[in-house]
């Protein structure tokens, strides 16, 4: 990790021009080193304006994540649940960082954010587009003694938590698409990726990964309709990070007691496709019908020919049935 790169972004963070010699002088490095870091930032998609006269600028500025700012705003109960907070300049996937920490024996309350992911992952092995310094990519670990059964519906509950956080910033058109896509005006703004480690019937660890688009740079290509929160509200990255931790950590701490039942009704109130024609792609078949909410374990319910069936499993994907 290069502190110099982050310090350069920090010095350009308020969007003003700063000369190459001033950057080099403050950081105690050569102008060539400054230039190399700026080039790396450009490779990562950060726009850098250059002026012979004034130096360098990040148009519009950039708010880097800061452990100090995140922890200062986090609720007291969530702060007690954080055992370690890491912010990485760039990593493959924050879920993989947390996985590695669990393998080292460090399981509870390890929180990792990254400014950029080079191999961000979504469900079904899809890429999660993760450019530098704009959105939020966060993962944390939680340890459950009660095995996988206690975790039924957890990924849906996390979606409810993220939706609540978005609403807390005064944004109203939030919806959820089964199992855990977060939508704004029907376009995807975030997603949850849960991974499990350990004994499915005993002591297991969960990696909770959340990606939330906050200010996607122009020109980014994503293979589905998407949105970002900055179109709906003025929210700082650190502010959003604190709000997510304040909501999600206490939720995880209480989940084995509460289970999905505490979140069931609210999940259905956010359900984007309740009573709408949907199409489920399962590994064996396509199911067409009308969405009827979710079961008390978080399985999707579909009504076809007057019969309601429930479906669950990581391989299933849901689409609106536009041919209906």
**Exactly one of 101, 116, 121, 123 is catalytic; which is it?**
123
For residue 246, how many C-alpha atoms fall within 13 Å in the half-sphere facing its CB?
Answer: 17
Helix (H) or strand (E) holding 81: helix 76-81
The only residue of 209, 215, 289, 298 in contact with ligand BTN, by rule CB under 6 A: 209
Binding of residue 95 to ligand BTN (CB under 6 A): yes
Does the annotation mark 31 as catalytic?
no
Q: Could you confirm whether 188 is annotated as catalytic?
A: yes
The yes or no reply on residue 213 touching ligand BTN (CB under 6 A) is: no
Using CB under 6 A as the binding rule, whether residue 91 contacts ligand BTN is answered as no
Please identify which residue in the block is written with the tokens 């990070």: 241
The residue (of 181 and 271) whose beta carbon lies closer to ligand BTN is 181
Taking CA atoms, 86 is separated from 94, 162, 324, in Å, by 10, 20, 47
Contact status: 99 vs ligand BTN (CB under 6 A): no
Distance CA 13, CA 33 (A): 19
* Number of Cα atoms under 13 Å in the Cβ half of residue 274: 12
Interface residue with ligand BTN among 128, 255, 260, 270 (CB under 6 A) is 128
Between 23 and 206, whose beta carbon lies closer to ligand BTN? 206
Site string for ligand BTN, 138-177 (x = CB under 6 A): xx--------------------------------------
Q: Name the minimum Å distance from CB 59 to ligand BTN.
A: 25
The radius of gyration of the chain from alpha carbons, rounded to an integer in Å, stands at 21
Catalytic annotation, pick one of 188, 237, 274, 301:
188
Cis check for the bond before 179: say yes or no (omega within 30 of 0).
yes
Q: How far is the CB of 92 from ligand BTN (least distance, A)?
A: 8
According to the binding rule CB under 6 A, does residue 291 interact with ligand BTN?
no
- Per-residue burial over 221-253, b if 16 or more Cβ lie within 10 Å, else e, is eeeeebbbbeebeebebbebbbbbbbbbbbbbb
Residue 53 falls in the annotated catalytic set = no
| Of the candidates 211, 243, 237, 210, the residue with the CA atom closest to the CA atom of residue 65 | 237
As a whole number of angstroms, the distance between CA 216 and CA 131 comes to 8
The correct pick among 37, 123, 205, 274 for binding ligand BTN (CB under 6 A) is 123
**260 binding ligand BTN? (CB under 6 A):** no
Residues taking part in catalysis: 123, 188, 319
Residues that bind ligand BTN (CB under 6 A): 93-95, 117, 120-123, 126, 128, 137-139, 181, 191-193, 209-211
């Amino acid at each position: 990790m290069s502190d110099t790169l982050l310090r350069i972004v920090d010095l350009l963070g308020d969007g003003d021009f700063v000369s190459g010699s001033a950057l080099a002088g403050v950081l105690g490095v050569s102008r060539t080193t400054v230039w190399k870091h700026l080039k790396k930032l450009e490779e990562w998609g950060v726009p850098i304006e250059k002026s012979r006269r004034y130096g360098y600028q990040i148009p519009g500025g950039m708010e880097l994540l800061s452990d100090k700012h995140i922890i200062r705003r986090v609720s007291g109960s969530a702060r007690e649940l954080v055992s370690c907070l890491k912010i990485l300049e760039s990593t493959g996937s924050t879920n993989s960082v947390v996985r590695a920490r669990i393998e080292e024996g460090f399981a509870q309350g390890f929180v990792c954010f990254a400014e950029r992911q080079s191999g961000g992952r979504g469900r079904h092995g899809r890429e999660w587009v993760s450019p530098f310094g704009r959105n939020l990519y966060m993962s944390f670990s939680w340890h459950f003694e009660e095995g996988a059964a206690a975790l039924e519906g957890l990924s849906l509950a996390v979606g409810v938590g993220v939706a609540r956080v978005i609403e807390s910033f005064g944004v109203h058109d939030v919806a959820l698409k089964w199992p855990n896509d977060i939508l704004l005006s029907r376009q995807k703004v975030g997603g949850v990726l849960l991974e499990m480690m350990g004994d499915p019937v005993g002591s297991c660890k969960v990696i909770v990964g959340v990606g939330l688009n906050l200010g996607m740079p122009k020109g980014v290509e994503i293979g589905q309709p998407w949105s970002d929160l900055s179109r709906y509200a003025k929210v700082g990255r650190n502010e959003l990070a604190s709000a997510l931790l304040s909501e999600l950590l206490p939720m995880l701490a209480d989940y084995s007691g509460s289970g999905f039942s505490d979140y069931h009704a609210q999940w259905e109130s956010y359900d984007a496709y309740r009573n709408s024609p949907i199409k489920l792609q399962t590994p064996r078949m396509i199911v067409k019908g009308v969405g009827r909410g979710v079961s008390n374990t978080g399985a999707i319910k579909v009504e076809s020919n007057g019969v309601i069936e429930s479906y669950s499993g990581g391989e299933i994907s849901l689409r609106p049935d536009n041919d209906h």
